[in-house]
Amino acid sequence: MSKMTAKSTLTLTFLTMLFLAVAIPAKAGNVNKSVKVADGAVSSGESSVNGSISVGRGAEVNGELSTVNGGIRIDADARGKEVSTVNGSLRIDSGVTADDLSTVNGAIYVAKNVTVDGEIEAVNGEIELDRGSKVARDVSNVNGRIFLQASTVGGDLSTVSGDIELADASEVMGDLIVEKSQGWNWGSEKKSRVPEVIIGPGSRVHGTVRFERDVKLYISETAQVGSVSGAMSLSDAVRFSGEHA
């Protein structure tokens, strides 16, 4: 399955979730309310339609955390499984463990030493991973910056129109991909801004750096990449020696 197909599937999944949430809410009392899981509490899962969800420090959630119009926050050292929203951001505090993180319209902020056993996906929103955080599988979005700081992605890292920066010895175990737009952006691709990709000091892409469109590529002299293919080659990169491009 291509990344674009995967994102189409993601959007369809959320539209389905929206319908089900309105038609048959898991907890009817939470349809238009925010939900809180207390510090250290155990929950089988929480949901809302027009409300935010917060999970307290050290809490354990053994089911899904999902809302349609609202953000989700998980405090330090808590445990969760599937964490998803349609219109809202996800904020994951340090030491949290979760399976998958996903949103359609919103950012995903992951603090230090977080473990994501699955993948992170957004459509319209930036993604940030702080020091020591690890994602077992892919990290992807369509629009929005992706920033890794001393963190690791076990699968592919991909975007369509967003910038990508790998800082402070971050690692991508799979490929780094900037995909060609296939209807996600209005107007001609020639008129759209050119994404910027920075592979910073000590960072490494174990797989291929693959571009299906032109980008501005900057690679630190201390970074490592497997190869660059597609619309650009390694010779098109601007090499830099300092902390920043």
Secondary structure of 146-161 in HEC code, one letter for each residue? EEEECCEECCCEEECC
Domain boundaries, the chain: 1-105, 142-245
Q: What phi and psi values does residue 148 have, to the nearest 5 degrees?
A: -110, 125
b/e code 153-174 from CB counts within 10 Å (16+ = b): bbbbbbbbbbbbbbbebbbbbb
pLDDT-based confidence at 226, cuts 50/70/90?
confident
* 3-17, 109-123, 153-167: range with lowest mean pLDDT: 3-17
Contact 52, 69 (CB under 8 A): no
For the record, the structure tokens of 231 come out as 């619309």
The whole-angstrom separation of Cα 120 and Cα 99 is 9
The whole-angstrom separation of Cα 237 and Cα 85 is 37
Contact 153, 175 (CB under 8 A): no
* 94-98, 185-189, 216-220: range with lowest mean pLDDT: 185-189
pLDDT at 188: 42
Q: What is the pLDDT of residues 126-177, one digit of tens each?
A: 999 999 999 999 999 999 999 999 999 999 999 999 999 999 999 999 999 9
Answer yes or no: is pLDDT of 186 > 90: no
pLDDT at 177: 98
Q: What is the pLDDT of residues 188-209, one digit of tens each?
A: 444 578 999 999 999 999 999 9
User: Stretch 34-46: mean pLDDT, rounded?
Assistant: 97
Which residues, at least 6 apart from 72, have a Cβ–Cβ distance to it below 8 Å? Answer: 52, 53, 54, 55, 65, 83, 84, 85, 88, 89, 90, 91
Torsion-angle region of residue 133: left (phi > 0), alpha (psi -120 to 50) or beta? beta
Average pLDDT, the chain: 88
Q: Pairing relation of β-strands 176-178 and 35-37?
A: unpaired
pTM above 0.85, yes or no: yes
Contact 131, 114 (CB under 8 A): no
The residue count of the chain comes to 245
pLDDT at 193: 84
Question: In whole angstroms, how far apart are CA 37 and each of 45, 74, 78, 92, 225?
Answer: 9, 9, 10, 14, 43
User: Stretch 212-236: mean pLDDT, rounded?
Assistant: 95
The whole-angstrom separation of Cα 88 and Cα 226 is 36
Answer yes or no: is pLDDT of 185 > 80: no
* 1-10, 52-61, 91-100, 236-245: range with lowest mean pLDDT: 1-10
pLDDT-based confidence at 24, cuts 50/70/90?
very low
